[in-house]
Structure 1
Amino acid sequence: MENVLNAIINNGLERELICGVWGLEKENIRVDSNGKLALTQHPLGLGNKIEHPYITTDFSESQVEVITPPCKSMDEAYFMLENLHDIVTENLEKDEYLWPSSMPPIIPKDEDIPIANYGNSSEAKDKMEYRNYIAKKYGKHKQLISGIHYNFSFNEDFLKKLHVLSSVNESFYDFKNGIYLTAARNLLKHQWLLTYLLGANVATHSSYKHCCNKDRENIKEEVLFKGACSYRNSLCGYRNKEDFRVSFDTLEENIRDLKNLISQGHLRGVKEYYSPVRLKNSKDTDTFEALERDGIEYIELRMIDLNPLSKVGIFREDLSLVHLFILSSLLYPCSSYNHKEQKKAMENQNEVSFNGHNLSKELRDEGLFFFDRMEKVLDKLSIDCGYYNDIIRAAKRKLSHKEELYSYKVYNLVLNEGYINHHLSISKENKKISLNESYSLKGYEDLELSTQILLKEALLKGLRVEVLDKRENFISISNKRKIEYIKQATKTSLDSYSTALIMENKAITKKVLLKSGISVPNGGIYTGIDRALMDFNKYLKSKIVIKPNNTNFGIGITILEANFSIEQYQEGLELAFNNDDTILIEEFFKGNEYRFTIIDGKVAGILQRVPANVVGDGKSNILELIEIKNRNPLRGRGYKKPLEQLKVGSEELFYLKSKNLTPNYIPQKDEIVFLRENSNISTGGDSLDFTDLIDTSYKDEAERAAKAVGANITGVDMMIENIQNRRSDTNATIIELNFNPAIHIHCYPFKGKNRRLGLQVLNALGF
């Protein structure tokens, strides 16, 4: 492969070399609050496990598997893994958790372990029949061992360029296969090194019935393996019963050897071949047909333990470490991997799995030599390698400092806390973290929160998602049948352009509602400040609202108490006209403001919105109380978190001034001081869920208003004086309709229930 390295360097393909496509698969056991195997069914909230592309079960009904879609970067793959992990966690029963170790928790007898039930289809029956077969052959306990699979492929265009530039006398089919086989041989030869660095399973519970006697320490009902790096990768872990010798010299020989093992009855099929590295084609993973026809599409590394020290089972930097292994295995390959070399590789793997903390000088030197070669690869590539060099230095240090190994750290934690107690405490803490951050979609934090919520619901449904424009929050969501383009979560194909224009113009909205017999506040529409000033006396005796015609989020709004001064009136007019050339002045309707969010023409959620406020502690002034309230991790800016931070801008200062207050005022203990009269969540307001507490007459009116403007999705803002009474024109009025209503306020209210509006949007779109 020297031609390959030269072709990359001489033709400036270094950047393309380090690109590729990544996919991650991860299994976790579900456990109860005592650390016992959960015997419940796969959570209903996670969908149909035989159809869901991202979330399913592995061997057991108690064993969740998440599968990322193919990702164009490691970051994307890692974030997707974390998002799927969080989605699963959020849909577990209250007293169930994801076990963070590859080795099982407290498990019952084989006959009590539930094999995954996929239903009654022929595909489902085939899956269940195979699981019954491996359960009988290997035992159910061993099938509960979990781990991470790391899938990688080079970009096809890169390989085609490399094929031409390498000047090799072979077809692209053979060249591509050779690339992956070269990497696979070296990865297999050095699998012990990855196990040494990434191994993190050094103990198990005595209920696991396949414990070896080698260097074991029994502590009550728990078994520790002193000096071990990875029990999962040991002779007693997830292995075939025999160490099969399969050629990796050519694809034809690899397939030939596997077919022989199957025909001789050693294996039921290719998926029973538990090699640490496998050659794959995504079009067919159970037979050889696609692999023979189209060649190797990617390689799968299967020797990676779940790391209990990471919430998702692996650290981001370890993905880069594995990637470096793949690159180095390609560019500094071993030319052969014969039976003798396979035997030696397996001996090294067994030694490190059980006794890696006492690494021999021979293996330490071999590991250092491998990383020295890796550094030489980076030196030859004209890219910024600082990050990768840091990873290599850390790995080299671990070869001489066992105390920095994950396995060493886990061993000492288990020794001090116990196997079950330690891992169960991690399970509970991980669940707490996932639930506390459930509003966030990792890797998509730059998007508005409502868009993140919609994407997360789409992943839960097993839909394909793509961000088309981050700044515009423009996304696509699709399945095999259809694709929908969505902006800011609720701008969809369900509403026409004219409907959007009506709702964006408050004056027109008001006229349309009046024609439909829907109650709206009395007032006027103005296109110039002089005409509005002439009507000063018309509004003087009433409490009024002055607002721009075409703005949202409470921008430019002023609320004046009755008998306001001409100066206050003019200041409010100027603020509104600074934001629009048309404004509305309306009589203020007494009562509380409620947001009715309509999806598919029906009320999906109702909130009472409480204006931005602080509560006194008797010693802090308003500015200090705002700072304290803004420390809440749920508060942020720009719809990135469920609640918006409070601030003191011109509107807040104006309102405080109207109450004869300044930001330096010190409220008494428990005294509530409002900073605004408008109650928008976007200006720091608090949201209280009222969906189940309001009479249906108000819901009917909100739905009538949406229908009047032809809106399938809208936010209807209604003032209600007394929700205990049925709706009447004197008890309630609609003050505004909002195109593109935020859905996150209903999903994460200040107080109340998550109404899952993202799911309702997807259902309305036909998903």
Structure 2
Amino acid sequence: MDMKKYEVGESILFDIGQKILEAHWQDLLANTSLRFEKVLDVVTVHQQKQGIQNVRPKNLAPKAQQAYFQTGAGQTQHLITDFFTDSTKIYQQLKALDSILVRNLGPEQIIWPFSNRPQDLLADEPSVPPNEAAQLGVRLVLSDELLTQLFTTETAKQYPSFAAFKNAIYLHLAQNIISNLDILVYFFGAAPIAMPEASGVKRSAIQAKRFLNCNMFQDFDSYLLSLRKAASEPQPKLLQAPLFLRPQKGDLDYRQGVQYLDLQVLDIQPNVADGVFDYQVQFLKLFLLFNVVHTTDPEKLTTAAQRFYQVANEDPTQPSQARPRVTAYLQEMREFATKFFPKTDYQTALDKMTQVVANETQAPTAQLALEFAQSGLFQFGQQLAAKNQRILTGEPYQLRGYTDKSLEIQQFIGSAIELGLNYRFLDGTGEFLQLRSQQQSAIINARITAKNPLILQAILADQQAMNNLLGFAQVAVPKGFVATDLTVAKSLFHAEFEKSGVVIAPQNGPKTAQQVFTTPIDEHTFTTSFLEALDYDDTVVVKAFIPGSVYDFYILDQRILAILEQVPVNVVGDGQSDIESLIDQKNDDDRRGRLGQRPLVTIPKTAATAAFLAQHQQNYQTIPDRGEQVFLSAIADLAAGGDSFDVYEEVDQSYQKLVLRIAQTLNMQQGHVAMIIPNIYAPYQPQPNSAIVTDVAAAVSIIPYSFPFAGNQRKLSQVIIQSLFSNSAKERADD
């Protein structure tokens, strides 16, 4: 392809920043998308003697099905984020991917934090150069809208096509980045051991061996010529280059123009669990945006290469000669951020980077050089790997990066990553997810999927309709009524419940609004409770209180996936502590916390609890006998601090068949059925009180089943996702 050479000095590119400011296109510039790619070594260290390169971590989907994990040369693991315009979202996903990868490592597997593999460090005569691992790459895509707008300007008319214009813009960016690679290696150099001389310390040994031919970036024709020449070589040095301009797949002549820029010049920070800090991700985004509008003389690129190699080869334990230049460059970036993005927090990131320059011992490569000099690089690598692994697995009930989302959504994201599916949020709260494979997609909410028909929600919202439907199927339900009028409700109360315990609750409301009376109540108490329920919904459900253990069955596709026994909130006496102290002791559990943030809820000490204790001649200062179980509520409500026990293997199979019959009657493909069963070991008999359904719901949290108080954990999120995608495939086949 005959490509005309365009002199940068004659184009729009010298005043691109001014054009953006004049047209108020700063938001279009900010919409530049970045994707991060980490290259990691997953190794097995046996008896601290040798490192063996390992196969793919267990439980992750195969390479062909993976969205976020790929296997590279030498069995390196490539961890790849989605494209984001928001650097915060990049870091969130990085943290999640890191945690999922580590959770799926084998018992002896670790992520080796250095470019030098353990077996090379332990060799009698180390001679292997740094491996292409412990590296962080960045892929950049400029906003199409920004490029289109710039192409409409008067000075862009000198380009014969939009593709040629894109090539010029990306080449300009590449020239600027090459001119400032020394800035990046100063901050992100963290591979300090120089092989084979084990005592030779460099800021970044792996960057020092990069192949950097600045002449290839003088113009776009030179770049194409360099690529074609490298393609004819058996082992081209160009593969070691720090930067590439990539075309659309299959477009080897760049007829559609450059599609993105690849930057591969960053070392992972070994002493940081995620390999990079959040402010460093922000700094990188700002650095790249700055270089879009910055001006560089192509004739001085060779000087830039000299600076890059000089900084890469520096001894990081000594003051850097690049310090004055780095200080001045940060000030230029600060002025750029102030002018283009005054309402962002880029200044905070620049403050932190400035602190590193002010105290160079804070630089990661300096810290590493000093620490491994004391313990040896192999031992230090093991220590760092263990520390990072503890951090990445420190919250077993949460997914790092998304702890602001509900636990259900965190579970679904984690399972989607493991199954190799892309995910993205569809709303601001992050409670609606779209999951995508190469062929299909599915949308889920924290508690709802598309499994059930719409009519089911209407049936479940109408207590009387559901009870009648179950009654027709000869399924027992507690006797009761629904009412909207207090006068009618009081009349029915006197006729049916004046001499028995009763449950009063809004038809559609939180379970905490449910009031349970285990003994008969008077009209005044009933009236008060009824009116309180009306505050939540116009319709109130009144039903008989039935004592007994509640068993919760989770259903998916006519299968029972989990069975929980739900027990009201309680404490067990030790013969010495009062009830208040026993509550504190039970709350001292990492699993307990706020609803939605921990799998178990902190047991509250409320006036309602005190009143319940008083009904049983107890108070917070009562000291129960050793082994005595003291209930603090009559409601088996996990959201109020109740306990859940996995009893899947214990419940007689006949109850599973009953629950599946109920689900079939309601045409419910996903949800739960709760029932009171007097004896789970005795087969179900179709007679009164053998099994009484107390609740049916389609929108159910998976957390109690995933993390019960005791018993086996059931990973429902993965099974639900697999069901959604297998069903989608079947529906397409049927069509």
TM-score range, shorter chain: 0.7 to 0.9
Is residue 708 of structure 2 the alignment partner of residue 749 of structure 1?
yes
Shift of 1:143: 4.4
Pair 1:366–1:470, CA change in 2 (3 A):
closer
Pair 1:719–1:102, CA change in 2 (3 A):
farther
Is residue 385 of structure 2 the alignment partner of residue 427 of structure 1?
yes
Shift of 1:234: 2.8
Shift of 1:290: 5.1
Report what 1:347 is aligned to: 309
CA distance in structure 2 between the aligned counterparts of 1:193 and 1:297, rounded to whole angstroms = 25
Larger mean CA deviation between 684-693 and 73-82 belongs to 684-693
Report what 2:204 is aligned to: 230
CA distance in structure 1 between the aligned counterparts of 2:713 and 2:388, rounded to whole angstroms = 21
Is residue 226 of structure 2 the alignment partner of residue 257 of structure 1?
yes
The aligned amino acid for 2:446 is Q
1:173 touches 1:295 (CA, 8 Å); kept in 2? yes
Shift of 1:181: 1.8
Question: Could you give the per-residue CA deviations for residues 301-358 of structure 1, whole angstroms, max 9, x where no partner exists?
Answer: 2111111222111111111222232233333332215674365245325423xx2443
Is residue 141 of structure 2 the alignment partner of residue 183 of structure 1?
no
Q: 1:403 aligns with which of 361, 381, 391?
A: 361
SS at match of 1:294: coil
SS at match of 2:639: helix
Question: Could you give the per-residue CA deviations for residues 512-540 of structure 1, whole angstroms, max 9, x where no partner exists?
Answer: 11111222233444444444444447435
1:145 touches 1:232 (CA, 8 Å); kept in 2? no
Report what 2:63 is aligned to: 49
Is residue 127 of structure 2 the alignment partner of residue 149 of structure 1?
no
Shift of 1:166: 6.7
Q: 1:161 aligns with which of 145, 149, 171?
A: 149
Report what 2:19 is aligned to: 7
CA distance in structure 2 between the aligned counterparts of 1:257 and 1:163, rounded to whole angstroms = 27
Report what 1:702 is aligned to: 659
Extract unaligned runs of 5+ from structure 1. Answer: 111-138, 205-210, 218-224
Shift of 1:382: 5.8
The aligned amino acid for 1:401 is N
SS at match of 2:298: coil
CA distance in structure 1 between the aligned counterparts of 2:461 and 2:610, rounded to whole angstroms = 28
1:248 touches 1:337 (CA, 8 Å); kept in 2? no
Larger mean CA deviation between 295-304 and 529-538 belongs to 529-538
2:180 touches 2:304 (CA, 8 Å); kept in 1? no
Q: What fraction of aligned residue pairs are identical, expressed as a percent? A: 22
Report what 2:318 is aligned to: 358
Question: Could you give the per-residue CA deviations for residues 440-472 of structure 1, whole angstroms, max 9, x where no partner exists?
Answer: 344444433212322322222222322222448
The aligned amino acid for 2:221 is E
Extract unaligned runs of 5+ from structure 2. Answer: 1-12, 727-735
Report what 1:132 is aligned to: none
Shift of 1:488: 2.8
The aligned amino acid for 2:143 is N
What RMSD in Å do the two structures reach over aligned CA positions? 3.2
Task: Give the 5 Å matches for 1:516-665.
Answer: 516-534=473-491, 535-536=493-494, 538-539=496-497, 541-552=499-510, 554-564=511-521, 568-614=525-571, 629-630=586-587, 632-648=589-605, 651-662=608-619
Pair 1:293–1:191, CA change in 2 (3 A):
same
The aligned amino acid for 2:719 is Q
TM-score, normalised by the number of residues in structure 2: 0.87
Pair 1:397–1:532, CA change in 2 (3 A):
closer
Question: Could you give the per-residue CA deviations for residues 647-706 of structure 1, whole angstroms, max 9, x where no partner exists?
Answer: 345654553343344456566776544332212222222222222332211111111111
CA distance in structure 2 between the aligned counterparts of 1:65 and 1:311, rounded to whole angstroms = 16
Pair 1:322–1:446, CA change in 2 (3 A):
closer
Shift of 1:597: 0.9
2:15 touches 2:293 (CA, 8 Å); kept in 1? no
Report what 1:222 is aligned to: none
CA distance in structure 2 between the aligned counterparts of 1:616 and 1:423, rounded to whole angstroms = 48
Pair 1:472–1:189, CA change in 2 (3 A):
closer
SS at match of 2:442: strand
Report what 2:37 is aligned to: 25
Pair 1:589–1:431, CA change in 2 (3 A):
farther
Shift of 1:248: 0.9
Shift of 1:405: 0.8
Pair 1:539–1:416, CA change in 2 (3 A):
farther
Shift of 1:721: 1.9
2:505 touches 2:515 (CA, 8 Å); kept in 1? yes
Q: 1:486 aligns with which of 428, 444, 449?
A: 444
Shift of 1:359: 4.6
Report what 1:200 is aligned to: 190
Report what 1:115 is aligned to: none
TM-score, normalised by the number of residues in structure 1: 0.84
1:529 touches 1:577 (CA, 8 Å); kept in 2? no
CA distance in structure 2 between the aligned counterparts of 1:701 and 1:630, rounded to whole angstroms = 36
CA distance in structure 1 between the aligned counterparts of 2:129 and 2:626, rounded to whole angstroms = 60
Task: Give the 5 Å matches for 1:328-343.
Answer: 328-336=290-298, 340-341=302-303
Question: Could you give the per-residue CA deviations for residues 228-255 of structure 1, whole angstroms, max 9, x where no partner exists?
Answer: 22232233xxx46xx6565112333201
CA distance in structure 2 between the aligned counterparts of 1:714 and 1:427, rounded to whole angstroms = 41
Larger mean CA deviation between 157-166 and 659-668 belongs to 659-668
Is residue 196 of structure 2 the alignment partner of residue 212 of structure 1?
yes
Shift of 1:400: 4.9
CA distance in structure 2 between the aligned counterparts of 1:177 and 1:536, rounded to whole angstroms = 83
Q: 2:286 aligns with which of 303, 324, 329?
A: 324
Number of residue-to-residue matches in the alignment: 704
Larger mean CA deviation between 171-180 and 75-84 belongs to 171-180
